[in-house]
Structure formats: structure tokens, C-alpha cells
Structure 1
């Protein structure tokens, strides 16, 4: 059975790697063929029969995942209705989350009033409040379970596509959010019903009531957002600074409702019910205390998951606990590995996209390691020393066992994580979270005061630990990660097993895998997909340069922390030899603070007088590893007078080797292009051009385009941006070039060597849900 479940999981995972879904006829063939093969070979006991059965299960897993995926893809926004006003009636389906200029929520579409329009059943809506006060009005607050009539403008799910980046489209797809958009500000918005009576909406309204109670009792408390997150899963209330602290100490998984919390709370409540149950002879005769504890624990887990909004991670935990609870309740001893794999099967049957989530793999790895270590220590002596030794062994196993996955997925690991978790796990799971949950049913303020006091002590301890460094490294190869997993298993074998130290040797490749670098005379230039903005990473054999830092998305989010810094870390770039901030506009300089805080910077060039460093000006030249860098704009005289637009001060950089050249132009406009033609026309000829100002009509004059004569033109642009970049007439001017667009192609990599090679990330990493 174990092998068959793993084969089914392999089939499900294989489907999630496909660029397109298989045809319905092929899916039907896999279903029928897999079922027949399973019936014919399922009873064979020899090796050939077991192999045939595993193949049948893999076929069924792939077909099952394909059927569910095909069904979800049918519920999509037609391309012709992107960016058009549509009047809808629906219900606010989940707890709204506030952001800098408004609120965002999931919205269940009940009716579409616009003739001919067809929308998905569930969408993600943003409602901006008073963004442009001369044109937009303040919007009323929205509450869960309210029915509204809105005029909305939608687009298909779309996210930034970068190597080692977060797949936002997969996240939306798994949650059934099949379009995103915003409420039109000048159109009428009408609340039709204050409360729609449906079970899911009742729970969401209850969650809102609880959140309000937390902030009403502790309005100015620094950690009230954490308590709300632990109780109802509202992670948006936790400030960015606190999230950074959690990452530095390796306890991020504890600050939101995870499988660990649900399991711990269920175990705590189940144990309490079992203890009380044994005190009543009548109850014991009615139902054994062990079964009563199991049932109480399961209902607690289910209720806690509902209180958390029944988010996908909580759902997976409930599915897993359901399998374990049924096995224990029936009195059958399935064994640790069989119980874990049955839970895996239950999760994948209901949520085949779970394999896309890092948390899914980390949860199963952690639970599997606990079973592995716990089984090895059965029969150990009792007493407080033994309990302490078991606790230490558990911390050691989970820390060491999840290390390869953490390095593969996040390329960093907190060195103080074992110590931080040793204190944080029991305190949060058995005291802070239960007290927060108790407040939801017994809203007595002293409970929350005491809970916040406990949390404050823990946060002080974490701040003390945060002074220690975090291990960071390039993303290791998959082969090195698999070898490290074998090393972990070897190290965690029972005491007395010979040569356990060899496991450490198997861990070395994942810890010290060097980052790939260009050769001398070569350069790798990556135009990252940061939306409507610009960020370009340049690598030579021994040097690194960052050209612009991307946009500022909100008061607490920018391209630096979300895209650039993770990309630098995964690529093994721990130091910038040069940072060029071309001009002041927030779509080019928005991520500068995050970059400065994350990596040391040897030299800063910019046109910003307030930014420490050097001014970039025409004539600056340097050479790294056989690659020549030249600043072409602005000239020194431009700093003597105030430019009408900051775009005119954009730093223009030319990169070349003996065979080809690249011209990075930032946001220069027509007059700057003419100045370059007058001053440095011979230097403009380049093989690759970063199209000026995102393809705006104010740039890319015909004379400039002809003078550059680029074979390849790259337009850094946001998907369906409000500026309508790039303009069609500008794209037409580049008809003689091959045109790349970051909104369509994702990150674009240029390899400047003896030849010139360009590749797009979306072409290399394309999945069936992308663009759907």
C-alpha cells in the first residue's frame, strides 16, 4: 500500500509539472487503463505485479489531478472581458484585509448584470479609498457576508515570473480565485443585504467580530496582530518588522495558523477531555475515554480550522488528522508510516495542488521525522531526564531534517532556529494560542492582557536571538538536496548504528554548492519581472551590478524585498560591486532600502542628489573581467539646472565585450535621445536595447531606434498597467527587432559571450495554469 500511495502522489506531482493539460481522451484512457491494470495486477504478489500496480496508481493520480485541473480551468475570465467595466452582484466571501489605500477581499459572484459578460465564480477584489481625492470618493467599509452591487474591472490571474520567485498564479489557482481586479471608484456601489445567511459567511462574520474584539481590548499593544493571527489566521495584522524578526530566528511557521498549531491545540483539548472523561463512570461505560479524547481532538481541530477561515494549510491538516483519528478510533494500528501516507493520499485526493506549496513538503517532512525519531526511541527510560532528552532529540531531528528543504526553497536558515523553537513551540502551542482561543469564546479582557504579557516576553527573547547571523547561500542543485536527504536519514538512525558520521559528509554538497558564474569575458544580464518598473542584475566572472531597484508596491512592500533580494540570495550574490539608481521615480528606486539592508554595496551611482554615493555622468568608464561599462547620460552640465522631469536625469549604461553590446536606457525621453544622438551616436549602436520608458509614446523616436539598430528589444512593463505601456505605435517602431516583454515573457536573461543568447523565464518554466 505504501508504494501505491507514493506512486499516486508521483502521478499527481507529474501533472503539476506540465505546460498544458492532457487531452480529455488521454485522461479517459489513463483512468480506464489504470483501473483495468489495477484490477488485473492488484492481487499479484511477485515483483512484476507490484510494479504494474504502482504504474496503475501513478496513471490514476495523473488522471485524477488532470480532471480536477480541467474543471477549474473552465471557470475563467474570457480574455475579451479583461479591463472592461462589468456590473456584478455578489457576496463578500472572506474577511477583508486592509492595505495602504483600501481593502481587499474574496468575492463570490452571484449574478452578472452586464449583457454578454461571463465571470468566474470567485474573484479577488480591491477597493481603493480616497486615492485621488479630487476624482475618487471615500468608500464605505465592507464586511463579510454582505451582498453588494459593484462595477468592477478585472484581469486574469497574473504574477511576476522570476527564477526562484513566488508563483502567485499558482497560489490563486489553488484557492480557486480565478480573476483579480478592483471596484470602479466613480461608479455606484450599493449594499443590497447586510447579512447573507450561509454557513461559510456566518463563520467569516464571526471571525470579523473576534478580530474587532482583539483590537478593541488591546488597541495600542504592539503584538495584538500576532494574537489575532494565532486565533483567526489574520496574518495581515502583523507588521513587516515583526515578520523580519521571525525570519531571522526561524519561527515564521509559528506566527500563523499552521498544521503544528492545529495539531497541538487538538492534542491539548483531546487530552483534557480524556482526563475529565475518566472521572465519570457513566461516561466511561458509554464510551471509552480514549475514543472520547480522539473525537474531541478532531472536533477541536475542525473548529479551529473553521475559525482560521479554513485556509488551504489548515484544510490539509484537518484531512491528515481525520485519517489518523479514524484509524485510532477504529482501534486499528496502522503504523506511523502507513498513517502518514494515508493522510498524504487524503490531501492529494481533495487538493492535488498541495504539492506546489513549500509548507506542504515541510509539514510532511517534519511529521515524518518525528515518527522516525519517535519510533527509534520507543522503550526509552522515563523521568524528567528522559523527557528532556526526547525533547532535545525532537528539536535536533526537525531542525536537521528540514534543513535541505529550507535551503532548496528559501536559500537561508536561521542558526538560532533550534533554540528559538525549543522555547517558542511549547509556549505558543500550549499557552499563548490556547489563551487567545479561550478569549474568542470567553471575551474577558484580563485573559488577553496576560496572553499579551507572555507574548511580549517571548518577543524580547527572539529579539535577543536575532543578533546572530542567518545562514544564506545559493540555491543548491536538486541532486545535492536529494543526497542531503539521504544524509539526514543516515544521521538520524538509532544510536549504535555504525558510521552515522557519514551522514554529515552527505550534507556537505547542499551546504557548500558554489553558485554558477560567467567566464572571464562573459556577462549575464537578467532583466527581472518586477511589474511596472525596472531592475536589472548584471554578473561578470567576479563582479555584480544592480541597475535600478524596482517599484514601491505599498508602504510595507517593494520589489527589493519581494523579488530582488531573494533573487540575489538564490543566485549566490552576497555583495554588489556597484548599484546604479537611475533616477528618483518610485518604479525605479522603490526597493533601494531593502537592497541596502540586505547586501553590502561597494559603490553607488545615481542621479539623486540626496542619495549618498557618486553622481552618474557621461564619460564614466570601468572594466570588470573583460566586460566594459560606460555611462552615456546624463552629462555633467545637466546637474547644474533643475530638470522638468526626473526622467531626463536617467542614467544610461552601455555594457559590451569583444562580440556584442547591451544598452540600458531607463526612462529617457525624446529630448534625451536627441542629446545622445548629438553627443555619443557611435556608442549607441547595440545588439540589445532596453526600450526607453517602458515603451511610452514620449520615447523611442525613429532616429534613436535606427541609431541603436538593436536585434533584440526588451520592454520592462507591468501586466495591463494603467499607463497602457507599451504603446502600439512604439512597438511598431521595433518591427525590425525581436521584441521581448516582461509582462508576457517574465524575466529575460541575456548571455553575453562569444555569441548572444536570450531566454525568457516563462518559456522555460511554463505551467498549465499560467495565463489562465
Structure 2
């Protein structure tokens, strides 16, 4: 028999095909692709995938390059395919009759229910939607004659409904939630709302794992008639729809959101229960060992238990990561090749990204894998003391994940380490096991899980007041401004330096590497300069004006009864991301909801020195804004031009008009005034209306922007704040053209997101959020022009 040839030196140096280095290269390739401002053409992506796959198969040092290229091409092809399947612009705002199955758990709110539907592959369905997932909202008050059985929506049921759809689109602001990225990661091809709910029909009853989850959640609510049952449902089933804004606020302030949703640790507990049951069974019946070794049977049972519980939790990302890791360990045990935990983690990341590279768009991917990696690197072996090991693990997790949490969420919880010291052992070792045992008892005999669930709720309630007190202490949450791109790698390196073994020199110097993340430059204007940020609030208005030492907020956007509050969802995140700790002045131009609706949310969080609004507007805690009132901040002059004293409150026409004048240019904020007031301002003080930057009145309505007023301003930039696809057709194309003919460059939030204008010594600069931080999933890239088609049925409600 011919002897095999020894491996070549290059083969001996080649990394393992599923090793740690190869997995890191794959992750790097996926991440590089997903941070690009635009995708290369698909032939280039296909070539990168083919080259990468061939290189990965090679048993030499080129394997890492192959894995990098493989990740790049795989992520690009997935992203390109998903975006190509999103609803084409030609089909937007058209009514469609859809039939499909509800996936996931519907989220019920006071006036609406949000749910996802997988459209049937039936030929009667729109070709672009067959087999795809859409996200819909069902409003109670949509049709006054036939409101429709909104509460009858159940997970796993099939329905036929009439809906109006559009491609996924969201607001784009500093610090804001990116709904377009979320839709891409979740493969949601369209969003919309139910039309004519009275015509909706259920086609088949609930079926599948989601139907079981919803039925079990209702059983918990029925058998545990106490408020804390909502947390038992969240911990046992991943059903968080009963948690309100106050609950999430407390969890965020204490850094506990990673525990309240089902985490990998919970999956590990479920796997452990299954393994212990099999071990006990094998011990009681020794004859079973003749058919399968006890340790291997326990491993298979653990994997089965992990898979079952992950399915019950809706296959959330942390559960998938844990299931994959358990699968690696079990497979290695079956083949009698026990892997190192780091190797198991690397293989789990490789497997997850190979199946779904877009999962890297989710913050949970990075927190999950990086958190485990920190623990594996810093805690290689037990010290023999469970208490010491626990405190060490908490310290590593808190320090190692702080940079990622700060960048991903713009906040850091100073109470987090203390809160986790209480919550991790108590919830994970007492509350969660009781809830899981309740699920098992309920599965064996309906109605028998109530006692265990009530115990779980009771034990949870013993700890919750502690976290409420920490949240209300005022020291729990710290909002961080948006840092520069290099802040995260520097902070991660600083954390690595701090976590090196005892005796490592110059450890205190590592703290300096955290400064760009925790105390970033705010980019404030200099003395005599000003900066305007038109926040993207949808169909409404909110403008932040900053000088070197002061901040003024002009309007706060809408708060609609369907649940969207621009003050909470857009304005406050933008203020936090821009590093605004307090407002020196709040100006509400008038009382219309699209300008004043978010004021309550802003007042609840931000300290405000003074507030102004038109006399008679009925807005509390405000003083009248009167023409002629002026003040000076940091070399910048502010002056109200309208309304004059004794002017009656007439809604739009009574809007506070504010002039901001610097040594380098002037800006004019006009609210919703119409042509009559514009002509009046022009007659009374033509010099006062001349400005380099003008906020176009009334969102570009044809009732505003009088030709004489437009010409008199001499504006270089005309700023438009309007919602995409709004029912008023704002901005009017004729108004946009009028400003452009007058020599102004028009910038719109519906095209560019938040608008940032600088009046500085370097000149007048303007930049949109989408220009400053382009993303490959930007909706505007998929539209040749923005559609202003009318939708007169519902007010514009931005997504996310």
C-alpha cells in the first residue's frame, strides 16, 4: 500500500476551515460589505463569492482571504436580493387584496395592532409579494361604520385583507432608530395598513408554533392575574407586547434589556433541564446505556431542549447563537472530539452568517458574540469560588460591552453593574426556571402551570422595586453624543488593555482611550456662529438652533393618537446624540399637533429654562412670543418678527416667526404662516425677512411662499420639513420650483432626513443626514424621484 504524502508547509500553516481565524475573516467580510454606502453591481458580488468560496476550500494560507471575500460576496448578494424584492415604487400607495398567514405575535396597542403577514404564493396575489413578509397596522378608528375585528388577529391564522402598502422607509436622524436597516435584516419587503377592516376575513384558524406561543401567553395572563405576569410572559416566551414604555425605561436605565427578552442563558437552562432529565432516566434504567452512552444521550437531549425552547421564543438571535454552540459541542461529543469553547463560538458565528449574513445588521449579533468572546478570553478557568467567578464575569461583561452599547444605543447605564449583580442570579436562577417549569407542567396537563407561574411572578416582584428606585435616582442613565468612527476601536482596545492580567504596565493610561467615546467632541459653533438642525419628524416640524453655549428648540413635531410621538422617537434621540444636555429656550410656533405634539415628551426629559408660544394658543408653561422681543446669545441675535401684540390667535397665521442673525448669515423660521402674513412682514420690515436660510412655511403648502416674499428673502437654502407620502401632498411642486427659480437650493427632510445648516466663519454649509452617513439600504437610492402622491385616508405616521 502506497504511503500518503506528508502535508506541504503551506498546508500546515493554513488555518482550519471552521477555525477562529477563518470565522473572524468571514465576519470581517460581512461587516465590510454592510458598512458600504452602496452595493457593487451583482456580477462583482457573485465574483467575490465564487473567488472567496474557492479560496476558502484551499488548504493553504489563502484561506483567510477566501473567507473574507466569501463573507463580502455572501452579504452583498443577500442584501441585493432582499432590496430587489422590496415593493417597487410603482406599486406604492395602491390598495391590494392580500391573503396570507400571520407570523410572529401581533403587537396590540390601545388603538391599533401591528402584525407581520407572509403572503400566499397564490397566483391571485401581487407577483412582487408572493411568499414575502409585509408588516401591517390595523387601526380601530379607520372605518367608523365597520371598525373590524382587530382583536381577532391571532398568530398563525390566515387572513384575507385589503391593505395599502409602501416600501420600508423610516426617519433618519442622529441617534434615531433606523427602520430601513431593521426591515432589511428582517426581510420585510413592504409596510402598510389595513383598509376597510369590515371586509377582512379569517381564512383558517391559528396553527403552528406561534399560535401555541400566543395561546400559552394568554394562559399565563389568565392564570396569573397580577401585573407582573407580563414579565413572566416575556421571560418564558419572549412575548414583550404587554411591557409599556415605563417598563422599558426602567430596564434601559438599569441595563437589563438583555435579560428581559429571552437570552442565551435561558436557552442553556432549558438545555440543562433536558440533559438532567435524561441523565436521571439513564441512572434509573441502566439498561438504556446499552443502546446509547449516557453522556451522548444527555447531549442529544440538551440540543433537543435548546431547539424546542428557541422555537418557543421565536428563534431570536441570542437563542440561535446558543443553539448553534450547543449543537457544535454535542456534535463534537458524538464524534469524541470535544472542542474548545472559543472554537464552538467561532463555528456558531460561521454557521449563522453562512445562513443569514444580514443578521450582522442586528445589534444583538454583536452584543451576543462579543459578550461571550470577552468572557471566554478573560475567564479561561474557574477560580474555585462561585461568588468570585460571578463577580468577575459581571465585571468583564460590563467593561467589555460598554463600548458596543454606547455606540449601538447612544447610552450607558451607570447603575447597570449593580443592577446586573442583583438581576442576573435572581432572575436567571429563580424567576426563569420557575417560568420554564410552568411551561413544562402546562404542556403535560393544561392548567397545571399556574402555581409555578404565580411563584415566578411573586419572586420577580420582590426584585422589581429595587430597579424602579435605581431608575428614578437620576444617576442610572447617561446619554452619550454620537462619537467619531474611531472611538469604538480605541475604546475596545482600552477595554482589552484594562482586562489584561495583573501586572500589565500602564493600565491607567488605557482610560485615555475611552475619552473619544465617553466625552466626544460636540462640534459646537464658535462665538458669533450658529448651527441649525431640522430634525426629521415626518409630517411636522422641529428645528434645533445651537450657538457656542446655548440651545433653542423650535417646535417638537407631531404626536398622533396611533402611538407615534415625534418628541420621544425623533427629537429626544437627536438632542441626546448631538450632546444637548438642556434647552435654554423652547419655542412652539403654534398649537397645531404637527408642531406642538411632541412637547410633552420633550418637557418630561429635558430641563427647559423658558418657553414661548403665541398668546391664546392655550399651551401651558409658555410666555407669549411677541414681535420685537429680542435677545443675544454668544454673539448671535434672536428676534421675533410675528405675531405683534394683541394679534388674535388664528392657528397657522399666529405662528411665531423667529429671525436668527449671525455675523456670517441669517436664518428665518416661519412656522406655518400663510401668504397674508408673509406679505405683511414684507411691508413692515423688508430687511428683516432677508435671510440666507429660510424654513419654508407650512411644509411647502401652496397657501404659503408668496412670490414677493420668496424673492425678498434672497435665500441660498430653502428648508422643507414634510413626511413621505403625506396626505397633503406637501411640498407642493410649484412652491419648490418657485424657491428654486429665486436661486435657493431646496433641501427636504423627506428626501435627505435631518438637515444640518452651519452659519460659520467658513461660510454657510448644508448637509443632509443621508449625505453625511449614506447607507446601502437607503430608500432614496431605490427611488428615481420622491413620490408626492396623495393619501387622504390616514395622517402620515413615520415608521420606527
> Offset at 1:157?
0.3
* Counterpart residue number, 1:460: 465
Deviating more after overlay: 437-446 vs 302-311:
437-446
> Offset at 1:210?
1.1
Task: Give, in whole Å, the separation in 2 of the partners of 1:565 and 1:20.
Answer: 29
* Counterpart residue number, 2:731: 726
Q: Residue 326 in 1 paired to residue 337 in 2? A: no
Task: Give, in whole Å, the separation in 1 of the partners of 2:24 and 2:535.
Answer: 37
Q: In structure 1, which of residues 491, 516, 520 is the aligned counterpart of residue 527 of structure 2?
A: 520
Q: Residue 650 in 1 paired to residue 655 in 2? A: yes
* Counterpart residue number, 1:15: 33
TM-score (norm 2): 0.88
* Counterpart residue number, 1:570: 577
Q: In structure 2, which of residues 738, 747, 754 is the aligned counterpart of residue 740 of structure 1?
A: 747
Counterparts in 2 of 1:399 and 1:35: CA distance versus 1, 3 Å: closer
> Offset at 1:619?
1.1
Counterparts in 2 of 1:260 and 1:165: CA distance versus 1, 3 Å: farther
Task: Give, in whole Å, the separation in 2 of the partners of 1:273 and 1:589.
Answer: 62
> Quick check: 1:294–1:325 contact (8 Å CA) kept in 2?
yes
Gaps spanning 5+ residues in structure 2: where? 1-18, 783-800
Task: Give, in whole Å, the separation in 2 of the partners of 1:601 and 1:64.
Answer: 49
Q: Residue 626 in 1 paired to residue 625 in 2? A: no
Q: In structure 1, which of residues 464, 467, 481 is the aligned counterpart of residue 488 of structure 2?
A: 481
Alignment of 1:238-387 (within 5 A): 238-271=243-276, 273-274=278-279, 277-375=282-380, 377-378=381-382, 380=383, 382=384, 386-387=385-386
> Quick check: 1:112–1:118 contact (8 Å CA) kept in 2?
no
Q: Residue 218 in 1 paired to residue 213 in 2? A: no
Q: Residue 547 in 1 paired to residue 558 in 2? A: no
Q: Residue 176 in 1 paired to residue 187 in 2? A: yes
* Counterpart residue number, 2:163: 152
Counterparts in 2 of 1:388 and 1:647: CA distance versus 1, 3 Å: same
Alignment of 1:426-445 (within 5 A): 426-441=425-440, 442=442, 443-444=447-448, 445=450
- Give 3-state SS (helix, strand or coil) of 2:425's partner: helix
> Offset at 1:362?
1.3
Counterparts in 2 of 1:241 and 1:659: CA distance versus 1, 3 Å: same
- Give 3-state SS (helix, strand or coil) of 1:537's partner: strand
Task: Give, in whole Å, the separation in 1 of the partners of 2:316 and 2:489.
Answer: 30
Task: Give, in whole Å, the separation in 2 of the partners of 1:339 and 1:291.
Answer: 17
Counterparts in 2 of 1:134 and 1:664: CA distance versus 1, 3 Å: farther
Query: Could you report, residue by residue, the CA deviation over 1:452-504 in whole angstroms, capped at 9, with x for unpaired residues?
Result: 11111111121232243023332333323322222222222334545544444
* Counterpart residue number, 1:46: none
Task: Give, in whole Å, the separation in 1 of the partners of 2:733 and 2:514.
Answer: 53
* Counterpart residue number, 1:59: 69
> Quick check: 1:101–1:131 contact (8 Å CA) kept in 2?
no
Counterparts in 2 of 1:435 and 1:671: CA distance versus 1, 3 Å: farther
- Give 3-state SS (helix, strand or coil) of 2:552's partner: strand
> Quick check: 2:162–2:197 contact (8 Å CA) kept in 1?
no
Query: Could you report, residue by residue, the CA deviation over 1:587-623 in whole angstroms, capped at 9, with x for unpaired residues?
Result: 2222222222322212212234442132212111122
> Offset at 1:206?
0.9
> Quick check: 2:535–2:574 contact (8 Å CA) kept in 1?
no
Counterparts in 2 of 1:177 and 1:504: CA distance versus 1, 3 Å: same
> Quick check: 2:104–2:116 contact (8 Å CA) kept in 1?
yes
Query: Could you report, residue by residue, the CA deviation over 1:227-255 in whole angstroms, capped at 9, with x for unpaired residues?
Result: 21222222221011111111111112111
Counterparts in 2 of 1:319 and 1:739: CA distance versus 1, 3 Å: farther
Q: In structure 1, which of residues 761, 764, 771 is the aligned counterpart of residue 769 of structure 2?
A: 761
Task: Give, in whole Å, the separation in 2 of the partners of 1:125 and 1:509.
Answer: 41
Q: In structure 2, which of residues 493, 500, 506 is the aligned counterpart of residue 493 of structure 1?
A: 500
> Offset at 1:53?
3.1
Task: Give, in whole Å, the separation in 2 of the partners of 1:722 and 1:224.
Answer: 41
> Quick check: 1:92–1:145 contact (8 Å CA) kept in 2?
yes
> Quick check: 2:535–2:543 contact (8 Å CA) kept in 1?
yes
Task: Give, in whole Å, the separation in 2 of the partners of 1:720 and 1:214.
Answer: 41
- Give 3-state SS (helix, strand or coil) of 2:746's partner: strand
- Give 3-state SS (helix, strand or coil) of 2:169's partner: coil
* Counterpart residue number, 1:706: 711
> Offset at 1:642?
4.6
Task: Give, in whole Å, the separation in 2 of the partners of 1:33 and 1:113.
Answer: 38
> Quick check: 1:651–1:666 contact (8 Å CA) kept in 2?
yes
Query: Could you report, residue by residue, the CA deviation over 1:539-560 in whole angstroms, capped at 9, with x for unpaired residues?
Result: 1111111111122145765222
> Quick check: 1:517–1:540 contact (8 Å CA) kept in 2?
yes
- Give 3-state SS (helix, strand or coil) of 1:653's partner: strand
Alignment of 1:582-593 (within 5 A): 582-593=589-600
- Give 3-state SS (helix, strand or coil) of 1:573's partner: coil
* Counterpart residue number, 2:50: 32
Counterparts in 2 of 1:538 and 1:112: CA distance versus 1, 3 Å: farther
> Offset at 1:341?
1.6
Q: Residue 109 in 1 paired to residue 119 in 2? A: yes
Query: Could you report, residue by residue, the CA deviation over 1:420-479 in whole angstroms, capped at 9, with x for unpaired residues?
Result: 111211222222223223333423322222221111111112123224302333233332
Query: Could you report, residue by residue, the CA deviation over 1:644-681 in whole angstroms, capped at 9, with x for unpaired residues?
Result: xx222322111221232211112222333233233333
Task: Give, in whole Å, the separation in 2 of the partners of 1:664 and 1:431.
Answer: 57
Query: Could you report, residue by residue, the CA deviation over 1:135-179 in whole angstroms, capped at 9, with x for unpaired residues?
Result: 866656222233222221100000111123221111111111100
Counterparts in 2 of 1:752 and 1:274: CA distance versus 1, 3 Å: farther
Alignment of 1:413-428 (within 5 A): 413-428=412-427
* Counterpart residue number, 1:559: 566
> Offset at 1:582?
1.7
Gaps spanning 5+ residues in structure 1: where? 44-49, 196-200
Q: In structure 1, which of residues 697, 714, 731 is the aligned counterpart of residue 702 of structure 2?
A: 697
- Give 3-state SS (helix, strand or coil) of 1:20's partner: coil
Q: In structure 2, which of residues 6, 20, 44 is the aligned counterpart of residue 2 of structure 1?
A: 20
Counterparts in 2 of 1:509 and 1:177: CA distance versus 1, 3 Å: closer
Counterparts in 2 of 1:563 and 1:670: CA distance versus 1, 3 Å: same
Q: RMSD value over aligned CA atoms?
A: 2.5
Counterparts in 2 of 1:557 and 1:266: CA distance versus 1, 3 Å: farther
Across the two proteins, how many residue pairs are aligned to each other? 748
Alignment of 1:586-625 (within 5 A): 586-607=593-614, 608-625=617-634
Counterparts in 2 of 1:530 and 1:322: CA distance versus 1, 3 Å: farther
Deviating more after overlay: 107-116 vs 426-435:
107-116
- Give 3-state SS (helix, strand or coil) of 1:183's partner: strand
- Give 3-state SS (helix, strand or coil) of 2:288's partner: helix
Task: Give, in whole Å, the separation in 2 of the partners of 1:572 and 1:323.
Answer: 45
Counterparts in 2 of 1:439 and 1:8: CA distance versus 1, 3 Å: same
* Counterpart residue number, 1:96: 106
Task: Give, in whole Å, the separation in 2 of the partners of 1:703 and 1:138.
Answer: 53
> Quick check: 1:112–1:119 contact (8 Å CA) kept in 2?
no
Q: Residue 751 in 1 paired to residue 728 in 2? A: no
Query: Could you report, residue by residue, the CA deviation over 1:565-605 in whole angstroms, capped at 9, with x for unpaired residues?
Result: 22222222112111112222222222222222322212212
* Counterpart residue number, 1:143: 154
> Quick check: 2:270–2:436 contact (8 Å CA) kept in 1?
no
> Quick check: 1:5–1:341 contact (8 Å CA) kept in 2?
yes
Deviating more after overlay: 275-284 vs 700-709:
275-284
- Give 3-state SS (helix, strand or coil) of 1:143's partner: coil
- Give 3-state SS (helix, strand or coil) of 2:520's partner: coil
* Counterpart residue number, 1:206: 212
> Quick check: 1:128–1:185 contact (8 Å CA) kept in 2?
no
Task: Give, in whole Å, the separation in 2 of the partners of 1:64 and 1:557.
Answer: 36
